[in-house]
Structure 1
Amino acid sequence: MNLAISNASDFTRWTPPAAALTLSDVTSIPTPPRAGHRPITRTFHDEDVTDNYEWLRDKDDAEVIALLDEENAYTDARTAHLKPLQDKIFGEIKSRTKETDLAVPVLDTGWWYYSRTIEGQQYPIYARVRDTGARPELVAGEAIDGEQILVDGPTLAEGEEFFRLGAFETAPGGNLLAYAVDTSGDERFDLVIKDLQTDEIIDDAIRGIGYGVAFTLEPTHVYYVRVNEAWRPHQVWCHEIGADPNTDELVFQEDDERFWMGMGASRDNRHIVIQLGSSTTGEAHLIDASDSAARPVCIAPRRAGLDYSVEAAADHLLITHNAQHIGFEVARAPLGVAPEDTWQTVLAPAAGERILGADAFESVAVISMRSAGVTTLRILERAEDGSYGEAWDVPTEGEVRTIEIGTNPRPDAREIRYSLASLIIPPSVCEVSLDTRESVVLKQTEVLGGYDPADYTERRIWVEARDGTRIPVSLVARADVTPDGSNPGLLYGYGSYEISIDPSFVISRLSLLDRGVVFAIAHIRGGGEMGRQWYDDGKLDRKLNTFTDFIDVGRYLVESGWVDPARLGAEGGSAGGLLMGAITNMAPELWRVVHAAVPFVDALTTILNPELPLTVGEWEEWGNPIEDEAIYRLMRSYSPYENIAEADYPAILATTSLNDTRVFFVEPLKWVQRLRETVTSDQDERPILLRCQMVAGHGGKSGRYDAWHERAEQLAFILDQLGIED
């Protein structure tokens, strides 16, 4: 690869006017910030491509930070007229939220664990009370007798612009707690170990770890995961609590850059499971948690295309794998080394089913799966001889709902906790009895202000894509909204990594629905909603299906009358942000407004640079354009930054964070620069804006009130462009 860098620098600065701006006063609309051209030429497959904005990648460059500050000031100015609407939406979110609240307590090792929030505080408090034989009757806002505070989020976050926990693990016996803290948003955490008998911090010397912490059975040691320079989890270390971290022992290292690592304790705490995986291949290792000197044992060596994950029970393994079925199956295998020929099928998928994973308990296994695109929990009963027999599904109703297994730390549980929600039904924490098979709702999230699900309707519709494939769509609207061709609409999508965007209830979405907006989720190919084949049909050389599916759903919403053709918006984040960039280039006339959150819009540049975080592991998702010219040409044809057209575009809001490790801020920053200099639409009427959070990560701001303000700003921009002023 040849890089030719010019010395040109014509960086210009913009100073916002002192007075507030209104769009009706055209003369007061400021000029958007413009970065200077500093051409860099890349050469692959005999093609030279010049990039004028790649120099913006360096966040240590004072000019780059100045440009981001100017972008934020410009966005402030262009949205100043929306401040009343932003404040109103924030007030709606706040007024519908029970700010002082309690989570449902979870029983483990003689204690009931829970979190609680306090009105006015950004972060929760994590606490516990002793078990007295029954679930405690806790009341939000009232003093809790015998409460022990484990982590005081508001106190720990004092003075920090960002605060997030990456681990929260109690040791076997319940006397120690390990938690990990990120105060920048880069998802690198500092580990803290607390003695819960004395309430003293006994170890806080380990810095910059990744996700994954587990104690040994006798909690003298703790295992943790380290990430490499590319933010790939690649090592497991064992640390003696209280000892010098320089004496920590490297337990496992994964050198293949395609593979990611997860690590955690089994439900009975007897084993530590190291799970490795690329997009297509899995491998797992087991550590005896009773011996801090034990070394990982490989369960079954990796084989290209064999994707498997492991759940360790007391006397066997449950392995979810795709050796025989594209929909995966669950097999039983002996503890320890368990080559494929020892795997005995426990549950095979029926047509239209995709098995996702297993949770092992003493008397049952709970299988998380999808059936006809809908989430399902299937219970496998264990007979007296330990074999698995009768299977039954936890009963639910409707196609537009999501059921997921909840927090169940006890292997001997006779009630299995799960969550249930839909687009209009607030999340419920439920328990199903293994004895009666009946479920009870322990708590449903309370939505204040007189919320009534009957005021809204939700439905599953199927849209025929251009190649004849039927695309499922989840749609919600106010009950009095009809498909008469006059409604504003917002279409959401993702479509990558076999991640499913299942129906869920979001309080802030009510601010759209109550203003007559039709909201829909397009469950497009590349996601996992319809199984592994659905994912395969939206990746690599079939990636274009993801984008055309979304466009076809958008056109259906217009043609069916659900949405006014002049009032359709689109929204997606991360890989869904790439989707936003692609569909904007491919069908700019279809959208009135697009919100691209932490968008992966400079995909080809990133995937061509194996030194950047995540790149090598992404080659199984997108292809390797360095070695494969056909993949290079394909990515070159859809990578949003490289395909902006001289055409009228929708209004665009790109949102990002300076410390985002997953999608660097430079991608949306470059994108908006090139958009502004290329598109032919009136940018006074359809602005192209960037909002960069200067101390945050991939998920944006961390405090709940800050996050509500952030979402209110986004929704106000969308509503304004859809013609809704109040």
Structure 2
Amino acid sequence: MNKRILPGLLLLLAISACNNPKKNEMKPIKWPDIKPPIAPINPYKRIIHNDTVADNYYWMIDYFKKGPDSTKVVDYLKAENAYLDTMMKSTDAFQADLFKEMKGRIKEKDESVPVSKNGYFYYSRTDDGQEYFKYCRKKGSLTAPEEVLLDVDAMAKGHSYFSVTGFSVSPDNKLLAFGVDMVSRRQYTTQVKNLETGEIYRDAIPNMQGAVAWANDNKTFFYTSKNPITLLSEKIKRHVLGTDVKADVVVYDEKDNTNYIGVSKSKNGKYIFIGSQGTLTSEYRMINADEPDAPFQVFSPRFKDVLYDVLPVDDKFYIVTNWNAKNFRLMECPLTKTSKENWKEVIPNRKDVLLEYGEEFKDFLVLSERKNGLTELRVLKKDGSDYYIKFDEPVYSAAIGSNPEYNGKTLRYSYTSLTTPSSVYDYNLEKKTKKLMKQQEVLGGYNPQDYVTERIFAPAKDGTKIPVALVYKKGFEKNGKAPLLLYAYGSYGASTDATFSSPRLSLLDRGFVFAIANIRGGQEMGRLWYEDGKLMKKKNTFTDFIAAGEYLVKQKYTSKNHLYANGGSAGGLLMGAVVNMAPDLWNGVIADVPFVDVVNTMLDESIPLTTNEFDEWGNPKQKDAYDYMKSYSPYENVERKAYPNMLVTTGLHDSQVQYFEPAKWVAKLRAMKTDNNVLLLKTNMDFGHGGASGRFDYLKDVSLRWAFLFALEGITK
């Protein structure tokens, strides 16, 4: 997983709008007249490429590095939290009401749509008042007795953070492997439970990726081991149940520290795959799942700038690749001749269609394609014919869901939009019929007809048209008076689709418009869209976002006095850049776990996951990359000028963007800014990149964000 990708929960939980006719008569909150914390200055010189830079707040890395100022760092973060609490004190009751309001939309006793695999139906369910869930299954039929495999509610008791992932059942259905993280640094300890006796085996494997791949002997599995310092996925190991974990054999050791690695089992159960992938290059190795002791063989050797993914079926391998294909193409090869010189084209590269990924079945292949920024699902049949599953709303999100049955003839997919709650469909691939299996129930009388969604295109600085999706409550008037929250991400080729969020309704129902800008750096409009927003073209990401904001003002969806911006992780870098470049465009900005100290972090390879990022941002040890990176890095470019109102969040145990980046940035902003606008830093002292682990706890963080925006708009209830 890429370093600065904030989990969807916080990234897209962001925001939306609604109309309150009295809003424009209100005045912003009167903030308490208290002084903020002032961080001590302890200059540290960075000298590289004959360039000397004084970093006054470098000492804040000491908690991470276990240095002499470690205690001072924690004291400063606590002081900032206390300052935030005092500044936001008058909104405490409102925050409590917002939490209750948002929680009240969630169906507490609920159940996921069961997934069929190897004779069992697997699902999770939640109970009233419980933060977590129970992972369950039923044998053969949904009317069979329930078997609770893991009671995560019980397991999480006494822990401020608790995450369980990577559920993997052995081929004989008797054993369950799962990963547990109790710190929020994505360093999982894998355990194995005997589903017949309830025994948790002593084979606990620490510091790994989470999921395992079972061999067909039901006693051997493969897992990904992490470097405990850099958190890089470095080794694939083989474990045999009942043996000493310390004796586990390394079956693959990745030497390229710019690549992520992982291990998985093919859907048809025949192969174990080791995948190694960076931003530009990938490579797979494989063995027969019946022969766990066999050496892994390379599927096709890695080549610079060639990415590929493998989809095994009975008589061939399908390959999705960008080899001589900017927007990717579909290839095939024999089972015994897999190197790329044996690949034969099935679907060619297309300039206007991005081929994203595929899902294989015995008699069908389903492809996820993106055209004009929107997803279409394409079905290929064995006879060579094909058809599309299309969708009708102007902006939406559709994705292939969980389909573990290789022999199945039903495609499960998800669908949502800015007004349509998350929905799960089963689609009969032979009959071309669909059935709604479940739609997120929004309690409290939500009616999608009360909201309007549209899609516009904002002209960028170079004339490029930037797609912007909007949602607002019916009755909204384009007169420049409504508050609007503009969200974007724009990195790693991650596409930001229009999805539903029930917490966002609390914004919409108080007069906000919510907008998503599909800026370059994402992949919504094809691979070139991504390439035009990375490395030495990264500034396109920032100017696209500014252009979107300016266009929304010009079209009178809002005005500068009511325009707000939000982004997290790499999207937090976006926030830092745009407040430097266009500080007067925004009345307020929320930067969640922001990656804002780009140069210093990319120079320090001991910081988790840094080396994986060189193909995204560049390596500042090279002068051209250093100079360009330094020219936009938010921390480097803080100036003595006025900045908008800002709320910045971080987590002390963040494994993706370390706490010291936003902490240093806020400290420097405090020392340099010339305005009287509010600047708040919230550090979650217990959690990491994705915030709280409970299904309700995260709403407290959302309540704070919304209350901050409402305070700036003078909305008090």
Q: Which residue of 1 aligns with 2:45?
A: 41
Whole-Å Cα distance in 1 between the matches of residues 492 and 282 of structure 2?
15
- One-letter identity of the residue aligned with 2:130: Q
**What is the SS of the residue equivalent to 2:631?**
helix
Q: Which residue of 1 aligns with 2:59?
A: 55
User: 1:297 touches 1:337 (CA, 8 Å); kept in 2?
Assistant: no
Cα deviation 1:534-571 (Å, max 9, x = unaligned) = 00000111111000000000011111000132011000
Q: Which residue of 2 aligns with 1:386?
A: none
Structure 1, 288-297 or 461-470: larger mean CA deviation: 288-297
CA distance 1:78–1:337, change in 2 (3 Å)? farther
Post-superposition offset of 1:24: 7.4
1:68 correspondence with 2:86: no
Q: Which residue of 1 aligns with 2:223?
A: 224
User: 1:483 touches 1:560 (CA, 8 Å); kept in 2?
Assistant: yes
- One-letter identity of the residue aligned with 1:659: H
Whole-Å Cα distance in 2 between the matches of residues 315 and 661 of structure 1?
42
**What is the SS of the residue equivalent to 1:507?**
coil
User: 1:297 touches 1:336 (CA, 8 Å); kept in 2?
Assistant: no
1:447 correspondence with 2:439: no
Q: Which residue of 2 aligns with 1:327?
A: 327
Q: Which residue of 2 aligns with 1:213?
A: 212
Aligned ranges 1:379-528 → 2 under 5 Å: 379-383=379-383, 389-528=384-523
Post-superposition offset of 1:644: 1.1
**What is the SS of the residue equivalent to 1:584?**
helix
- One-letter identity of the residue aligned with 1:501: T
Q: Which residue of 2 aligns with 1:633?
A: 627
User: 2:418 touches 2:498 (CA, 8 Å); kept in 1?
Assistant: yes
Whole-Å Cα distance in 2 between the matches of residues 532 and 282 of structure 1?
16
Whole-Å Cα distance in 2 between the matches of residues 254 and 109 of structure 1?
33
CA distance 1:24–1:496, change in 2 (3 Å)? closer
Cα deviation 1:380-399 (Å, max 9, x = unaligned) = 1013xxxxx11111131123
Whole-Å Cα distance in 2 between the matches of residues 413 and 254 of structure 1?
35
Q: Which residue of 1 aligns with 2:570?
A: 575
User: 1:414 touches 1:434 (CA, 8 Å); kept in 2?
Assistant: yes
CA distance 1:336–1:197, change in 2 (3 Å)? farther
Q: Which residue of 2 aligns with 1:106?
A: 115
**What is the SS of the residue equivalent to 2:446?**
coil
1:588 correspondence with 2:580: no
Cα deviation 1:4-54 (Å, max 9, x = unaligned) = xxxxxxxxxxxxxxxxxxx9777x533212221111101111110000111
Q: Which residue of 2 aligns with 1:721?
A: 712
User: 1:354 touches 1:532 (CA, 8 Å); kept in 2?
Assistant: yes
Q: Which residue of 2 aligns with 1:699?
A: 690
Whole-Å Cα distance in 2 between the matches of residues 25 and 492 of structure 1?
26
Whole-Å Cα distance in 2 between the matches of residues 468 and 352 of structure 1?
18
Post-superposition offset of 1:695: 1.6
Cα deviation 1:85-134 (Å, max 9, x = unaligned) = 211211121111111111111111111111011121110111011113xx
Q: Which residue of 1 aligns with 2:183?
A: 184
**What is the SS of the residue equivalent to 2:624?**
helix
**What is the SS of the residue equivalent to 1:202?**
coil
**What is the SS of the residue equivalent to 2:589?**
strand
TM-score for both structures, normalised by structure 1: 0.92
Whole-Å Cα distance in 1 between the matches of residues 358 and 469 of structure 2?
27
User: 2:325 touches 2:349 (CA, 8 Å); kept in 1?
Assistant: yes
Whole-Å Cα distance in 2 between the matches of residues 121 and 48 of structure 1?
54
**What is the SS of the residue equivalent to 1:178?**
strand
- One-letter identity of the residue aligned with 2:222: Y
Q: Which residue of 1 aligns with 2:159?
A: 160
**What is the SS of the residue equivalent to 1:58?**
helix
Q: Which residue of 2 aligns with 1:85?
A: 94
Post-superposition offset of 1:336: 5.5
CA distance 1:73–1:252, change in 2 (3 Å)? same
Q: Which residue of 2 aligns with 1:309?
A: 309
Post-superposition offset of 1:204: 3.9
User: 1:266 touches 1:313 (CA, 8 Å); kept in 2?
Assistant: no
- One-letter identity of the residue aligned with 2:421: P
Structure 1, 318-327 or 569-578: larger mean CA deviation: 318-327
Identity of aligned residues (%): 39
Post-superposition offset of 1:442: 0.6
User: 1:567 touches 1:723 (CA, 8 Å); kept in 2?
Assistant: no
Whole-Å Cα distance in 1 between the matches of residues 533 and 224 of structure 2?
31
Whole-Å Cα distance in 2 between the matches of residues 371 and 212 of structure 1?
32
1:118 correspondence with 2:122: no
Post-superposition offset of 1:358: 1.5
TM-score for both structures, normalised by structure 2: 0.94
Q: Which residue of 1 aligns with 2:7?
A: none
Return structure 1 stretches of 4+ with deviation > 3 angstroms.
23-26
User: 2:287 touches 2:295 (CA, 8 Å); kept in 1?
Assistant: yes
Whole-Å Cα distance in 2 between the matches of residues 359 and 273 of structure 1?
16
1:622 correspondence with 2:605: no
User: 1:408 touches 1:416 (CA, 8 Å); kept in 2?
Assistant: yes
User: 2:313 touches 2:361 (CA, 8 Å); kept in 1?
Assistant: yes
Structure 1, 325-334 or 422-431: larger mean CA deviation: 325-334
- One-letter identity of the residue aligned with 2:548: V
Whole-Å Cα distance in 1 between the matches of residues 108 and 678 of structure 2?
35
Post-superposition offset of 1:337: 5.3
**What is the SS of the residue equivalent to 1:583?**
helix
By relative contact order (CA 8 Å, sep 6+), the higher-ranking structure is 2
Whole-Å Cα distance in 2 between the matches of residues 214 and 718 of structure 1?
45
- One-letter identity of the residue aligned with 2:709: I
Whole-Å Cα distance in 2 between the matches of residues 72 and 299 of structure 1?
52
Aligned ranges 1:254-403 → 2 under 5 Å: 254-335=254-335, 338-383=338-383, 389-403=384-398
User: 2:178 touches 2:210 (CA, 8 Å); kept in 1?
Assistant: no
Q: Which residue of 2 aligns with 1:14?
A: none
Post-superposition offset of 1:583: 0.2
Post-superposition offset of 1:417: 0.4
Q: Which residue of 1 aligns with 2:652?
A: 658
Cα deviation 1:52-96 (Å, max 9, x = unaligned) = 111101224111111111111111111111112211211121111
Post-superposition offset of 1:299: 0.7
Aligned ranges 1:524-539 → 2 under 5 Å: 524-539=519-534
Q: Which residue of 2 aligns with 1:9?
A: none
Q: Which residue of 2 aligns with 1:607?
A: 602
Whole-Å Cα distance in 1 between the matches of residues 586 and 716 of structure 2?
18
Whole-Å Cα distance in 2 between the matches of residues 637 and 303 of structure 1?
32
Whole-Å Cα distance in 1 between the matches of residues 379 and 29 of structure 2?
61
Cα deviation 1:191-242 (Å, max 9, x = unaligned) = 1101111122124421111243111112111111011231111211000112
1:679 correspondence with 2:673: yes
**What is the SS of the residue equivalent to 2:99?**
helix
What is the Cα-based RMSD across aligned positions, in Å? 1.5
User: 2:189 touches 2:210 (CA, 8 Å); kept in 1?
Assistant: no
**What is the SS of the residue equivalent to 1:365?**
strand
- One-letter identity of the residue aligned with 2:652: L
Cα deviation 1:304-340 (Å, max 9, x = unaligned) = 0111111222332211101121010111122365111
Whole-Å Cα distance in 2 between the matches of residues 709 and 691 of structure 1?
12
User: 2:546 touches 2:582 (CA, 8 Å); kept in 1?
Assistant: yes
User: 2:192 touches 2:204 (CA, 8 Å); kept in 1?
Assistant: no
- One-letter identity of the residue aligned with 2:154: T
Whole-Å Cα distance in 1 between the matches of residues 648 and 280 of structure 2?
31
Whole-Å Cα distance in 1 between the matches of residues 246 and 290 of structure 2?
23
**What is the SS of the residue equivalent to 2:436?**
strand
Whole-Å Cα distance in 2 between the matches of residues 463 and 456 of structure 1?
22
**What is the SS of the residue equivalent to 2:697?**
helix
Q: Which residue of 1 aligns with 2:700?
A: 709
Aligned ranges 1:538-577 → 2 under 5 Å: 538-577=533-572
Structure 1, 636-645 or 306-315: larger mean CA deviation: 306-315
User: 1:492 touches 1:522 (CA, 8 Å); kept in 2?
Assistant: yes
Q: Which runs of 5+ in 2 are unaligned?
A: 1-27
- One-letter identity of the residue aligned with 1:332: E
Structure 1, 342-351 or 553-562: larger mean CA deviation: 342-351
How many aligned residue pairs are there?
Answer: 685
**What is the SS of the residue equivalent to 1:357?**
strand
